[in-house]
Amino acid sequence: MREARVRTRTETAATLRVVLPGAAMIAVTFGLARYGYGLLLPDMQAGLGLDPRAAGLIASGAYLAYLAGNIAVVWLTARFGPRLPIAMAASLAALGMAAIAAADGPLGLAVGVLVAGSAAGLAFPPYADVVAQRVPARRRAVSWSAISSGTGWGVAIAGPLAIVLGGHWRPVWLVFAGIAAVVGVVAVRAAPAQCPRTEHPLPRLRWSWFVCPRSRPLLVSAVLVGAGSSVWWAFSVDAMRVAGVAETPARIAFAGCGVAGILASVTGMVTDRIGLRRCYLALCVVLTAAVALLGVAGSHLGAALISATLFGVAYNGVVAAQGLWSAEVFHERPSGGLAAVNTALTLGTVTGPALAGAVIHSYGYPAALIGAAALVALASAQAPPAR
C-alpha cells in the first residue's frame, strides 16, 4: 500500500512538471500571441486604418508563419531536443507581441503578427515527445488534454486585460510580451534538453510516413476544422460589434470562450470513457453549432455568449482529441506526427480568414460565419476509426 502511494505521488509530480509549464506555454503562444489578434482587432483597425480584407490577409499571414514554425520544429526537435524549440517559441512570442505594440502602420503590424504567429508552431509539437517520454501511460491522455487547454487559459487572461484597458491596445500587447518572457524562462528550465533514446530506431521523415491511409482522415479533418474555426477566431469580436453588440460585451464573450476552453482539459477522461470516435464526432457537431449560431444570431448578446462558450469548449476539445488521435497514428514519432496535424490545421487556417475577408466585404459577416460552419460540419465525416 505504501509503495503504491509513493508511486502515485511520484507519477503526479512527474506529470505536473510536464503539464504546468506546457499549459503555460500554450496559453502564451496560442491564447495571447496567436488569438490576441482577433480580440484586439477592432481597436487596431481603428488605430491603423485596416479594412476587413487587409485584416484577413494579416491573419492568414500569421497562419503561414505558424506553418513555417511547424515545419521547422520537426527538424529542431529531432536534432536538438525539446528545449531549444520551446526557448525559440517563447522568444518569438515576446518579440512579436512587442513589435505589434510598436507598430505605426499595417506593415509594422503584419511583421509583428507574423513573428508572434510562428511561436505557436514551435511550442506545441515538442510537448508530444515530452508527454510520451516523461508521463506515465495511464496519465497521458489527461495530461495532453490539460496542455492543449492552455489556449483557453490564455484567452481567459487576454479578455479581461483588453476589457480593462479599453482602446489602449498597445499596452495590452506589451503586457502580453512580458508574460511571454516570464513563462518562457520557466518552461525552458523545466523542459528536457533531450528526450531519452528509444529501443527502436525512429522512422525516417518521408512524405509517405506523414500522408498514408491511416493518417488521411486525420489530416483532412484538421484542414476543415482549421478553415472553419479560424474565421471565428479572427472575426468574432468584430462580427458582434457590427451586428450591434457593444465592444465591451463582445470582448466579455471572447473571454468567456477562453474560460470555457479550460473545460476541454477533461477531453482525455471523456475519450477514455466513451471512445475517441464518439468524443470527436460530438465535439465537431458542437463546434459547427457554435460558429453557425454567431452567424445567424450574432446581434443578440445571449446568443453570442452561448456561441463563445460552445466554441471554447468544442474547439479546444477538438484540438486535444486530434492530439490523442495523432499519438495513435504517429506513435513512433509523436512530435513529427503532431507537427503534420498542425500543418494540416494551418493549411485550413491560412485560407479561412483571407476568404472570409472577401466574403465579408461582399456579403457580410453572417454569410462568412455560416460558410465556416459548413466546413467544420464536413470535418465530422472524417472521424477516428472505431476501435
Average pLDDT of span 70-84: 86
Provide the residue ranges of all domains of the chain, joining segments of one domain with +.
12-194+211-379
Gap between the Cα atoms of 221 and 250, Å rounded: 29
> Is the distance from CB of 93 to CB of 29 less than 8 angstroms?
yes
Tell me, what's the pLDDT at 306?
93
> Is the distance from CB of 44 to CB of 97 less than 8 angstroms?
no
Average pLDDT of span 94-119: 92
Report pLDDT digits (tens) over 196-231: 554 444 445 565 556 677 778 899 899 999 999 989
> Is the distance from CB of 231 to CB of 292 less than 8 angstroms?
no
Gap between the Cα atoms of 25 and 61, Å rounded: 22
Residue whose entry in the numeric block shows the C-alpha cell 506593415 = 107
Report pLDDT digits (tens) over 4-55: 566 667 777 778 888 899 999 999 998 899 878 877 888 888 888 888 778 8
The rounded radius of gyration (Å) of the Cα atoms in the chain is 20
Q: What angle do CA 175, 345, 259 make, to 5 degrees?
A: 45
Sign of the Cα pseudo-torsion (345, 350, 353, 359, in order)? negative
Give 247's contacts (C-beta < 8 A, 6+ positions apart): 42, 237, 241
- For residue 267 the three cell numbers come to 477531453
> Is the distance from CB of 119 to CB of 93 less than 8 angstroms?
yes
Q: What angle do CA 221, 382, 143 make, to 5 degrees?
A: 65
> Is the distance from CB of 318 to CB of 288 less than 8 angstroms?
no
Is residue 99's pLDDT more than 90? Answer: yes
CATH topology assigned to domain 12-194+211-379: Growth Hormone; Chain: A; (1.20.1250)
Say what the pTM is. Answer: 0.76
Residue whose entry in the numeric block shows the C-alpha cell 509523436 = 334
Give 374's contacts (C-beta < 8 A, 6+ positions apart): 228
Gap between the Cα atoms of 336 and 322, Å rounded: 14
